[in-house]
Chain A
Amino acid sequence: MRRNQSITDLDILAAKIRANVLEICRQRGGYAAQGVALADIAAALYFDEMRPDDDGWFRDRFVLSNGHDAIMTYAALAESGHYKMDDLRTYNADGGWVDQSPIEGQLGFEITAGSLGQGPSQSAGLAWALRQQGSDARVYCLFSDGELQEGNVWEGAMFAAHQKLDNLCYIIDNNDMQASGHAADVMAVEPVPKKFEAFGFKSRRISGTDMGELLDTFDEARATKGKPFAMICDTRLWDGIDCLQKALPMAHYTAKAAVDWDAGAAEITATLAALDAKR
């Protein structure tokens, strides 16, 4: 919604989110590469696009479809003060409550998202219900390009377009990576924007790490009437931390011993210093 802050302010938040991802995942491993790559989307979404309510939460609703990417939400909501880093350091610990892939009802998680491809339909049902109630709340659903291989995604997209849900915005993490390799090799999903256009969406393909483009596209989605919006965000694993991207470009799950966490943290510290100097 364009709060009174600069692109650099949001870039700094994204860098802090990346630092949080590393700090959480270095404890016992996790989906660090995804969380790092999604940090700019998270900063734009949680710190600019979604409108705060009077109770310290959000008027708009965010549905995470891909449970693996929960690390993004944790790291962002730590920066907003909704989660404590001390708690998040127990991510993925036996007996802990910070699930690696959370269950419906945990703060920040509207659905149980570990079974992939079920967010697009649930967010569409949520958007339909909110519109039916006369609510002005918008619904955002993040899912991955790998999930596009699930039939349920396209059933949900067909419903969203048929119902002209212009309060719904899909955010596709188009990282060309799934559990067993590149999506292009496992089961090609491109051209993603054309597929959504064919289903009745307005769509735009952008860089998922360009804050200006992210904000402009959220503006465009909000201004779009009569159809839902799909923003296809091109990302690559570890975007924003070059040394880790070079070290482990094909990461799916990053084990504790798989990367040099200190090197990654040092790069983020340098990034933050450079951004501070720009401000």
Chain B
Amino acid sequence: MLLTGPREIDPAPFDDISFDLCSRRKDVVIMSADLSKYCQVVRVKNELPRQHLDVGMAEQNLLSVAAGVAKGGYIPIATCFACYITRRAYDQMMICMGSGSGPGTNQDSGPTNVAIGFTPGIANPARIHHQAAEDLGMVRAIPNANVIDPMDPTDFRAAVNAAVDLPGLTYIRGHRGDTPRLLDPAKFTFELGKTYRLKEGKGIGIISTGHGTQWALEASALLEEQGVGHSLLHVPTLKPVREAEIAEFAFAHNQIVTIENHQIVTGLGSLVTEIVSDVGGGPRITRFGLPNRWAPGGTLPFIRTQLGLDAKTLAKRIAEVAA
């Protein structure tokens, strides 16, 4: 399901995704908190202004107004940086957007509320305050929430299109700026919770999500050159996840590594560890991602190198585990 040949770059994935969706669905409203340009919400704002709503520089307001818009019959897609939309407005995400649908609430199928966090993890150059290294874990802890970390413009588009038809809260990590097209839209079909085997092989099993899958594919190419056998599983949906698919993949390998653009606590690595631990007697799991300490700032290639997540170092670390 991966594209072959020269790699194409999408300079503004969400601008097209949001414009195409809003052109098709007049019940969708893209919401901003003074960061429309920086989340690449440009065409909707300029060409479909009735479907764009800016609440000003106020993230709690973004999510609570969005929840009201949802109760009024529209489907809000709140956009902001991942750090603010989760940390700064977590209670509004959980209570206003997330407590009206599914088991334990009063409604089996409540209003649809979508939140997209851009420049997650070290995709943001400004260290500490702008880097959301814990957003996936935070939203994963909200009962009934859907949590998606897409790897490229194709599954990002599919996730957004799916989210507007899901009851309750869906949180998606967004891609901004030059983003490589990796999945073949003709061969990839997104289903909530489904996992995707991007490479079948013997040896070590790699499980990744979001930017982590981009990095895993880069490392995979180097490992292949070096003759290190491996398989690769892309997990775009962290919640609800098909646990049996993860367990089946994990138990087919003696060693598993997880790769994510997120702290190695509470994110994908933790998820895989929990699933394997619940079954018991599984493979050793080594978690690669951001450590539970403040990451450096700077360009993404620089930060990746600092954290041992650049392709070369990552391949070396995987090979060491495999050996």
Contacts of B60 in A (CB 8 A): 121, 151-152, 155
Q: Which residue of A lies closest to B76 (CB)?
A: A125
Contact assessment for B69 and A129 in the assembled complex, using a CB-CB cutoff below 8 Å: yes
Question: Is B309 close to A, CB under 8 A?
Answer: no
Contact assessment for B106 and A159 in the assembled complex, using a CB-CB cutoff below 8 Å: no
Contacts of B99 in A (CB 8 A): 103-104, 112
Contact assessment for A129 and B68 in the assembled complex, using a CB-CB cutoff below 8 Å: yes
Q: How far is the CB of B32 from chain A (nearest CB, A)?
A: 12
Contacts of A126 in B (CB 8 A): 68-69, 71-72
Within 8 A of B (CB), among A151-185: 151-152, 155-156, 158-159, 162
Contact assessment for A133 and B61 in the assembled complex, using a CB-CB cutoff below 8 Å: no
Contact assessment for B74 and A104 in the assembled complex, using a CB-CB cutoff below 8 Å: no
Question: Is B179 close to A, CB under 8 A?
Answer: no
Contacts of A159 in B (CB 8 A): 55-56, 58, 61, 65
Contacts of A105 in B (CB 8 A): 100, 105-107, 110
Contact assessment for A122 and B110 in the assembled complex, using a CB-CB cutoff below 8 Å: no
Question: Is A132 close to B, CB under 8 A?
Answer: yes
Size bin of chain A's contact surface: 20 to 34
Q: When the two chains form the complex, which single residue of A103, A122, A123, A152 contacts B105, counting CB atoms closer than 8 Å? A: A103
Segment at the interface with A among B88-96, B217-225, B228-236, B287-295: B88-96
Contacts of A118 in B (CB 8 A): 64, 91-92, 95-96
The complex places the Cα of A148 from the Cα of B38 at a distance, in Å, of 32
Q: Which residue of A lies closest to B110 (CB)?
A: A105
Q: Which residue of A lies closest to B51 (CB)?
A: A132
Please encode chain B, from 62 to 89, with 1 for each CB lying within 8 Å of some chain A CB and 0 for all others.
Answer: 0011111111111010000000000000
The complex places the Cα of A275 from the Cα of B53 at a distance, in Å, of 50
Do A156 and B64 form a contact, CB below 8 Å, given A129-B72, A129-B73, A130-B72?
yes
Chain B residues proximal to chain A, CB less than 8 Å: 50, 53, 55-56, 58, 60-61, 64-74, 76, 91-92, 95-96, 99-100, 105-107, 110
Chain A residues proximal to chain B, CB less than 8 Å: 63, 102-106, 110-112, 114-115, 118, 121-130, 132-133, 151-152, 155-156, 158-159, 162
